[in-house]
Amino acid sequence: MPKNDAFDFPQDLRDAQLALLETRAAYEQYATTLPWSAEPMPGWKSDKQLHSHYISAKPDSPGYTEEQAAEVARFQARLVELSITVSTHPYWSTLGEDVVAARMALKHAHEQPAEA
């Protein structure tokens, strides 16, 4: 598989990919602060698992507030926008059979400084 420097990614494509990675990480971090269910749901507790002392349980979920739901929708819309920007970038049409290798390399392009 070619290394990242085997491809001359345009800066706007590199920027969009980095924004996609950063937005996904921010969304995943935000999601850890949310209730376990978007809608109000009663909690539950299961029976003890066979050959284990583990008992699965969830507290009642109040559901998302309007602000939380709006923030989730904002993150999701931004992720879709960035995904489309990256996946439909004109750069991909300039490649032959290396598109898959280039796409994989782009995911790590932020780990190297852009060539001047």
Domain extent, residue 73, equals: 1-35+65-116
pLDDT reported for residue 1: 42
Which DSSP symbol is given to 39?
S
Tell me if 95 is assigned to some domain: yes
pLDDT band at 33 (very low <50, low <70, confident <90, very high): very high
| Tally of domains within the chain | 1
**Does residue 1 fall inside a structural domain?**
yes
Q: Taking residues 19-39, report their average pLDDT.
A: 97
Beta bridge partners of 58: 44
In residues, how long is the chain?
Answer: 116
pLDDT tens digits, 87-114? 999 999 999 888 999 999 999 988 876 5
Query: How far is Cα 79 from Cα 49, in angstroms, rounded to an integer?
Result: 38
Res 2: pLDDT? 47
Supply the DSSP symbol for 90: G
pLDDT value of position 116: 45
**54 occurs within a structural domain:** no
Which whole number is the average pLDDT over 40-68? 90
Residue 23 belongs to some domain of the structure: yes
**Amino acid (one-letter) located at 92:** W
pLDDT at 99: 92
User: Does residue 11 form part of some domain?
Assistant: yes
Q: Is the pTM of this model over 0.75?
A: yes
- Give me 96's structure tokens: 């032959």
CA dihedral 79, 84, 86, 92 (to 10 degrees): 160
Q: What is the pLDDT of residues 68-80, one digit of tens each?
A: 999 999 999 999 9
Q: Which residues pair with 57 in a beta bridge?
A: 45
- pLDDT computed for residue 50 by the predictor: 78
Whether 106 is in a domain gets the answer yes
Which run of H or of E encompasses 17?
helix 11-31
**51 is a domain residue:** no
Domain contains 60: no
